[in-house]
Structure 1
Amino acid sequence: MSAQTTALPDGVTTPPGRARAGIALAVILTAQLMLVLDATIVNVALPVIRGQFGFSPATLSWVLNAYTLAFGGLLLLGGRLGDVLGYRRTFMVGLSIFVISSALGGAAQSAEWLITARAVQGIGAALAAPAALSLLTRSHPEGPARNRALGLFAAVSSGGASIGLILGGVLTSGASWRWSLLINVPIGIAAIVIGSRLLPDTERRREPFDIPGALTAVIGMTSLVAGFVWIPEYGWSLRTVVSLAVGVAAMASFAIIERRAGFPLFALRLLREPNRVTALLAFMLVVGGQMGGFFFLVQYLQVARGYDAFTSGLAFLPLTVGIFAVSRIAPRLITRYGPFAVGIGGMIILLAAHLMLSRITLDGNLIVGVLLPMMMLGIGAGATFLPMNIRILSGVPAQDAGSASGMLQTAQQAGGAALGLAVLIAASGIGSTGAGATPVPALITGMHHAFGTAVIFVSVAVAVTVGALIRERVVARRAAAQVVEM
């Protein structure tokens, strides 16, 4: 047996050579990019979509929310399905659902048709995304090789939203908003064909499926995400309060069920590690601020500055370049300085960027006042996301790879994106669908409040991470002292 074969993690039955492994990683990254950018790719096309289908302001947001709700609400279930059914199989099923629904969304003839297709897209994404990350971690043992792969994955995950805005602007202005969805079809089909032959296979487990846990997880996560996305639109209305209450009750029931289940949907033991929990919390806070920045900067460029979809999308290029440039050197920085130092440095850059944007003005210099802090957001995200991913996934048993991947991406999609965006929009005082009707001075004032709140988010994330670092060093010193005494 070759060295390449024996070096593979347990459960992987297809031993890829270096070229095969590189192509397989490219498939995973391409699929992840499609899944992430679809959360924002139609943002800049919303005015066109509203005019074509006659959306009301109250229903237009569901072109975005339907995807977010299904994606974020089903991630825990998707992660566990990968553990039980096999990661490649789950990845292929999810990606197939995503591609088919993308084609249907691009062909939509009514508002209801489009929203339904977007929801089904989210279901496919919730199955494929955790499986993609699990395939990556199972194919790369912990160490520099995994860090490099995770660096690319983190860059795609954090930069996908901004790429979606750029690509959405190009496609909407140059062709049609429909291509924002239809572009997934040829790329997705290629990923399915290549992935079915080159992605490593993992064994299917013969164990009972936790149906009560699955039901409570889906109800709980979906209700929580729905409540979060309704806060900006409806405030603390009856529907919002009931949705959040149902979500909290269902997730509490889920925790009780999982503690007693013989084969739980989610491995609660993953949350016994304080370093992992603090990394998850900091991750949610940072992503929340980042997604809020995307939302408000699009409104600023289109409403306050009067740019079209193409130009406003192109303005996010510095952010995207910053993410991918830093992601290439982040693994080496982590090897030299450790994930804590690199992560804290990245968050400090994010903090400075949010501070600059909290002072944005209508007639200020675009390069200094907008593009520079946007590039800093990209640099900070590129330096922050990989260390957090490493801390969250470090030490995860092979049988829990899917649960850990679902947990990480739930923190990013449901926790950070939905909760963070809802809080920032609420702090701004403007509605999620009524920015076009909001007077420009009110929009600028709202942005000051929103980015000021993002500063608080990142400040708390820095404090939590510094606290985790101090705790880790104290534990290490105690362990060293015990060894000396022995």
Structure 2
Amino acid sequence: MKNTHTPARDRRALTLALLSLLQFLIAIDVTVVNVAVPTIGAHFHAGTSALSWVVTGYTVVGGGLLLLGGRLTDLLGRRRMFLLGAGLFALASLAAGLAPNLEALIAARFAQGAGEALASPAAMSLIALLYPAPEERARALGIWGAISASGLVVGVLLSGAIVQLLHWRWIFGINVPVAAVVLLATPALVGPDGPWRADRAGRAGRRLDLPGAALLTAGPLLLVFGVLRHSVPAALAGCVLLGAFVAVERRAKNPLVPLGFFAHRTRTVANAATVLLSAGLSTTFFLATLYLQDVLGLTPLQAGLAYLPFCASLLVAMAVVGRVVQALGTAYASVAGLLLTAAGLALLARLPDRGSLWADVLPGMVAVAAGMGIGLIALQNAALSDVTEADAGTASGVQRSVDQLGGSLGLSVLVGGSFTGAAQVADFRVAFGWATGGVLVAAAGVLLALREKRPVE
């Protein structure tokens, strides 16, 4: 039999593993803080609304800067931006682990999000160049995506073990040596971008939509701050900045997102539905963890282990989603995932003041996980519908941004709008109820889109 393992193939495989390793870390940090949130709150004597910044700060900044990160990658070099993002992520992780107070921890989470926004688009671009053939590229991106999704699962499980056996600070500190390996190995495996030239940097600066990037980041941050602090002026100011972002994009010569991109109804509906679905998922992670530890009295390790059925349901759903999409079509698969999620959220909206893990929490969590595995992937496919070489990067960037921003903004609205003081189970029920309504609205929107001439397929 002919040996297909050549040095070039082995080098590509090693490079893909390296790029996936950093993405694995980035994905872990989306969920690793959830089980640690009650412990962090006790350490810093922080309330529920303040603690939500530890979760949302990372995703708001990351989501707001992702499109800028993609543009910087194209203009200034893929390896260069990957190394810069990985280095920033490592330094921010170290700062988070050493944070003397909650404010410093939140600032470090902001910086982690910025590191993700630089590294992730660069990694995807490097994979695309490593695997130019469409079939190979799809397989490589599938591996990269599967490793990223497994990071979300590992983050939940790892968090409980670290908090219980070591200290919550190690959920961030563990990133540093792994990121160091990535930084040291990248120059050996990834070819250079070419010589740095001042004129190239100058042209890049003129082609960057820096005002748009600033508005897309500052607007959601201010909106989250206003909602969590119940400050109407701050929330209105955030909305004004988001409106200004639309105005800037309309006039910019090189906008982050050409507004004509949203003329495609299928992609617009898919992205809007993703916002509402991500809001429900973020609410589940955050509030279910608080309920497990603060109400049921589970230890961090027990709370992490309690997520095992959730993780199993998610992995099974991701394993079968391809067949679901093939059997039902992208649109109906999206609706099925949304309805499953809504059913799970509705169950969680009935959490009793003193419930049990098996009867009251796990059924809802398992249904949410199944809906997440089917709904998110089906909506991602719809969000990339009819893309070309010219707008594939934009479509991917928009989808990832709305996923992250939707989750962080949705969590802040549901937590800030439902909690009037110290968190009570009644507040949890209200938040889960609103999340249920949002996901049902998303399902109805996708169904209505089916009736038009261009279905979400």
TM normalised by structure 2 equals 0.84
Provide the rounded CA distance (Å) in 2 between the counterparts of 1:296 and 1:58.
Answer: 11
- Report whether the alignment pairs 1:385 with 2:376: yes
Distance 1:332 1:246 in 2: 42
Alignment of 1:112-151 (within 5 A): 112-136=103-127
- 2:217 corresponds in structure 1 to 222
Structure 1 residue 303 and structure 2 residue 288: aligned? Answer: no
For residues 402-429 of structure 1, give each alpha carbon's deviation from its aligned partner in whole angstroms, at most 9, with x where no partner exists. Answer: 4333212210111x112211232245x2
1:420 paired to 2:410: yes
> What letter is aligned with 1:222?
T
Question: Distance in 2 between the 1:212 and 1:395 partners?
Answer: 26
Partner amino acid, structure 2, of 1:74: L
**Residues 341 and 239 (structure 1), Cα distance of their counterparts in 2 relative to 1, 3 Å cut:** closer
Secondary structure in structure 2 of the residue aligned to 1:465:
helix
Q: Distance in 1 between matches of 2:225 and 2:49?
A: 10
Aligned mates of 2:349, 2:288 — CA distance in 1: 11
User: Does residue 30 of the first structure (1) align with residue 24 of the second (2)?
Assistant: no
Distance change (3 Å), C-alpha of 1:163 and 1:454:
farther
Q: Are the structure 2 counterparts of residues 240 and 160 from structure 1 closer, same or farther at C-alpha, using a change threshold of 3 Å?
A: farther
- For the structure 1 residues 172 and 365, does the alpha-carbon distance in structure 2 shift closer, same or farther, using more than 3 Å as the test? closer
Query: In structure 2, how many angstroms separate the alpha carbons of the residues matched to 1:174 and 1:335?
Result: 44
With over 3 angstroms needed to count, the CA separation of the structure-2 counterparts of 1:105 and 1:363, relative to structure 1, is closer
1:233 aligns with 2:228: yes
Consecutive unaligned residues of structure 1, counting only runs of 5 or more, are 5-14, 477-486
Residues 1:430 and 2:424 aligned together: no
1:107 lines up with 2:98 in the alignment:
yes
**Separation in 2, partners of 1:296, 1:106:** 23
Pairwise CA distance, 1:178:
1.7
Partner amino acid for 2:419? Answer: I
Q: Does the 8 Å CA contact 1:291/1:421 hold for their aligned counterparts?
A: yes
Question: Residues 194-227 of structure 1: CA distance to partner in whole angstroms, max 9, x if unpaired?
Answer: 5545568889996933658633223322222213
Question: For 2:427, which of 442, 446, 450 is the aligned residue?
Answer: 446
For residues 53 and 412 of structure 1, the distance between their equivalents in structure 2, rounded to whole angstroms, comes to 29
> Structure 1 residues 242, 266: CA separation in 2 closer, same or farther (over 3 Å shift)?
closer
Q: Deviations over 1:14-40 (max 9, x none)?
A: x99655554444444432232233234
Note the aligned Cα RMSD (angstroms).
3.5
CA distance 1:322–1:398, change in 2 (3 Å): same
CA drift at 1:350: 1.3
Superposed displacement of residue 53, structure 1: 5.4
Aligned to 2:182: 191
1:422 aligned partner, one-letter code: S
SS of 1:38's partner is: helix
Letter paired with 1:444: V
1:248 to 239, 243, 253: 243
Structure 2: which 5+ runs fail to align? none
- TM-score, structure 1 normalization: 0.80
Contact 2:228–2:412 (CA under 8 A) maintained in structure 1: no
Rate the CA distance shift 1:384–1:121 in 2: closer, same or farther, 3 A.
same
Q: Distance in 1 between matches of 2:50 and 2:414?
A: 20
CA contact (8 A) 1:138 1:401 kept: no
CA gap 1:27/1:328 in 2 versus in 1, 3 angstroms: farther
**Which residue matches 1:288?**
279
